[in-house]
Amino acid sequence: MLPTRETNPANPWEWMKNPGDVPMSEDDQILLILHYPLTFTLTNRMISEELRSLNRDSNPKYFDVVHISSQLDSSAKYTFDSQHIVSKACDPYPYKDNMTNNVISVYKGRGFCEILEEVT
């Protein structure tokens, strides 16, 4: 069931006289497109959806495209893929100095976000 347009286009707010009684109609001409990542990472954890009407514009059941998005909160389980990020950022190491002695130590453990939360 979807909300419908008023039958009288000159008065599109007629339904507001009884706001608890929104006009509804059955519609089997809708398309839901869901973009849900298989693996959640820091850069890829957004869930987006698009709801489209497959009716023609002239049909009273037609509606404009609806975009819906959400992002996982901090309690969601996601994968930190350090190898992919580190390989681009540190190969070759961007700055040579005596402090590193050409040895770079990169943390690759699972608790990266917890450590980052402690220092920020």
Interval 2-25 mean pLDDT: 66
**For the chain, how are helix, strand and coil distributed in percent, rounded to 5?**
15, 20, 65
Report the number of secondary-structure helices (H) and strands (E) in the chain.
2, 5
Please tell me the predicted confidence (pLDDT) of residue 59: 86
- Distances in Å between the Cα of 120 and the Cα atoms of 9, 30, 116 are 55, 45, 6
Please tell me the predicted confidence (pLDDT) of residue 67: 92
**Measured between alpha carbons, how far is 29 from 6 in angstroms, rounded to an integer?**
19
Domain ranges, ordered by start, for the chain? 2-71, 82-119
Residue 82 has pLDDT above 70, yes or no: no
With a threshold of 0.75, does the pTM exceed it?
no
